[in-house]
Structure 1
Amino acid sequence: MFYRGRLAPSPTGYLHLGHARTFLVAAERATGGTLVLRNDDLDTQRCQPHFVQAMLQDLDWLGIRWQEGPQTDGGESGEFGPYAQSLRGPRYRDAFERLRSMGAIYPCVCSRRDLQSASRAPHAGDDEEPIYPGTCRDRSFREGDQAAWRFRVPDGEAIRFTDNLSGPQEFVAGQDFSDFAVLRRDGVPSYQLACVVDDAAMRITEVVRGSDLLRSTARQILLIRALGLPQPAYAHTPLVVNERGERLAKRDDARSIRTLREAGLTPAEVRAMAMQQ
């Protein structure tokens, strides 16, 4: 099978060394195949146009070359566009309606405060989605109520996959993760749904991302099965951490690629920093 990998940054801040590591690994694994750049800009409150431009410039400066997706001149290349998630809404709506028609999802009217008080804490090092207690699983729903929609996970079922970098993985639905959102109250699709739909539509054969998203992979496998989509391979890279052992976030400006560039470091030096931690 012809290899198709992808880079999927969210333009909510400047890319940092953790992004550099993941994207360098993704680019290396796509050697001889196709690398797709997708702009995961669904977070309309935090995504900013200048971060999109910075993302393109930083990736290009690092020496990462992609064959499909947004280009540094403002255009796009490739047959599976548009490559910005904010422009792919009809695809997500279609997948949502399919899930709803098969009874795989249900409306949830819990407020953010309800979720914070009732849910169990997430596991250390995961993608920070808390365990949902199932409050609305069997609650009656009136048309017109403002609600998010959650995927009903098969409690007790073990989701297994072999990661190409992290080895065999197993997560138990209802224990390691729970009913997860596929559509927010404001109608914006969740990361889980958008990622599954786009990876399938763009024919991605391997998803390379950070190891903090291993549990998200288990969630996404359930969505893939429900929607009857092809399942890609997965490769989760070790995280880059700060002096306190915490994974980097976009607020860690001292580790941003932009800051390191402005400090006079070369692309080769930044690549080495990203890969040696």
Structure 2
Amino acid sequence: MTESHPAGCGAGRFAPSPSGDLHIGNIRSGLLSYVRARQTGRRFLWRVEDLDRVKAGSAESQLEVFAELGVEPDEPPLVQSARTAEYSAAIAKLAADGLVYECYCSRKDIAQAPSAPHAPPGAYPGTCRSLGEEERESARLRLEANNRQLALRLRADNREHRIDDVMLGRVDALVDDLVLRRGDGVFAYNLTVVVDDAASGIDEILRGDDLASSAPRQAYLSKLLGLPEPGWVHVPLVLSESGQRLAKRDGAVTYQQLRSLGWTIEDVFAWMQQSLGFGGDSRRWRSVDDMVNGVAFARMSSAPAVFVPPTAP
């Protein structure tokens, strides 16, 4: 289903990595992004986040699945691999403001380094933040000898920042010196999503609540780049029977696998209805239009859903 929206109106988005078939949890988040956009009069956009893991044909297959479910983006998908110049320009702007420095640390270096008592696990301890030029040159030569490249980090204020979320309320998190460009030359997620969301006019982001702690980082980075901060809607994840985040190793969890076991499109929407806490409603969901009409975010279950994969008859 595609509707006409003014070009200047806001937008929501779904941004999967084309690394394989989407599982039912990914699909649920994508459908909720579409529902939220339709309910609030926004455009629904699609982004192909193909800077890292890519499986040939996955981007097209993911779009085909959503088309079968009645969802098509309102504009052609934005493809990240075509936008590296924009990411470089964003780093150049930050560098001009004195907010970028070289980092020579490996993951092992960071894990073994002492961190501040108030810092969360994995926060960057600032090892390379204040090195002198001789130390930097020595570190560059060391990386070169080991066939490694340096990363670029943001010189953050290392303070707590907050966002306000439709589902979670206030979310606070420490913003450390996050990576802007990785040591393998790939532009980092926190940078690319901020640049792309602003370029596409995304003014509200719906995604899984496992990413909620990164939202203050992205809001902070938006401010430094002079970009508008979007609104936030972090929804509960879909878990496996063991209570872990659902993954393809858990059995028949992808749309293609479920269809091969006899699931219909109506079955997909019936499960969406149950998983979101609307199973007691009188109208059974059979299509994406039913989902648009049936989801009430204020009543939506805040608990993770558990998916039990069906087995072959």
Asked if structure 1 preserves the Cα contact closer than 8 Å seen for 2:167 and 2:235, the reply is: yes
**2:11 aligns with one of 4, 7, 24:** 4
Residue 185 of structure 1 aligns to which amino acid in structure 2?
G
TM-score, length of structure 1 as denominator length? 0.84
Provide the aligned length of Structure 1 versus Structure 2. 251
Q: For residue 30 of structure 2, what is the aligned residue in structure 1?
A: 23
Root-mean-square deviation (CA, aligned residues, Å) is: 2.1
Using the aligned pairs only, state the percent identity.
39
Taking structure 1 as reference, are residues 29 and 87 closer, same or farther at Cα in structure 2, changes over 3 Å only?
A: same
**Counterpart check, 1:233 vs 2:231:** yes
**1:213 aligns with one of 211, 214, 224:** 211
**1:56 aligns with one of 53, 63, 66:** 63
Aligned positions of 1:81-160 closer than 5 A: 83-118=78-113, 130-140=122-132, 141-142=136-137, 145=140, 146-155=149-158, 157-160=159-162
* Alpha-carbon distance in 1 for matches of 2:249, 2:79: 23
**Counterpart check, 1:41 vs 2:60:** no
Offset at residue 256 of structure 1 (A):
1.4
* Alpha-carbon distance in 1 for matches of 2:112, 2:247: 25
Residue 69 of structure 1 aligns to which amino acid in structure 2?
P
Asked if structure 1 preserves the Cα contact closer than 8 Å seen for 2:104 and 2:139, the reply is: no
Residue 35 of structure 2 aligns to which amino acid in structure 1?
E
Offset at residue 186 of structure 1 (A):
2.7
Asked if structure 2 preserves the Cα contact closer than 8 Å seen for 1:63 and 1:267, the reply is: no
Offset at residue 116 of structure 1 (A):
3.5
Taking structure 1 as reference, are residues 85 and 203 closer, same or farther at Cα in structure 2, changes over 3 Å only?
A: same
Q: For residue 256 of structure 2, what is the aligned residue in structure 1?
A: 258
Taking structure 1 as reference, are residues 142 and 162 closer, same or farther at Cα in structure 2, changes over 3 Å only?
A: same
TM-score, length of structure 2 as denominator length? 0.75
* Structure with more relative contact order (C-alpha pairs < 8 Å, separation 6 or more): 1
* Alpha-carbon distance in 2 for matches of 1:152, 1:247: 32
Asked if structure 1 preserves the Cα contact closer than 8 Å seen for 2:164 and 2:171, the reply is: yes
* Alpha-carbon distance in 2 for matches of 1:251, 1:104: 41
Offset at residue 24 of structure 1 (A):
1.2
Q: For residue 123 of structure 1, what is the aligned residue in structure 2?
A: none
Residue 96 of structure 1 aligns to which amino acid in structure 2?
I
Q: Which has the larger radius of gyration?
A: 2
**Counterpart check, 1:169 vs 2:171:** yes
Q: What secondary structure sits across from 1:186 in the alignment?
A: coil
Unpaired runs of at least 5, structure 1: 71-82, 121-125
Residue 240 of structure 2 aligns to which amino acid in structure 1?
N
Unpaired runs of at least 5, structure 2: 1-7, 141-148, 276-304, 306-313
